[in-house]
Amino acid sequence: MVKKGHIPERTCAFCKKKAPKFELFRFVNKGGALVFDPEKKLQGRGAYLCKECFEKRDNRKIITKLLRSLRIISS
C-alpha cells in the first residue's frame, strides 16, 4: 500500500539521474523486443529514461545502454 504523499522515484538508465516516476519515459522488454510503455503499466522488466536522454534517443550509446539494462542484449 502506497503512503499518502509518497512519490515513487526511478533512475534514468543512461545518466543515472533520479526523478519522480511520472516524469520519466518507461521502456519494457517484451519477448526480447524494446517496447515503449506510455501508460507505465505493461508487465515485464522496465527501464526509464529522463526527458533529456529521451530527446537524444537516436544516440546509439543511449539505445545500447537501454537494451543492456533490459537484458535484451548481453554486456
The residue ranges of every structural domain in the chain are 11-69
* Higher per-residue confidence, 3 vs 38: 38
**Of 28, 53, 56, 55, nearest in space to 40 by CA:** 28
Mean per-residue pLDDT, 23-50: 93
Q: Give residue-wise pLDDT tens across range 39-62.
A: 999 998 899 999 999 998 788 899
In percent, the amount of the chain with pLDDT more than 90 equals: 61
Q: Which range is least confidently modeled, 1-5, 12-16, 25-29?
A: 1-5
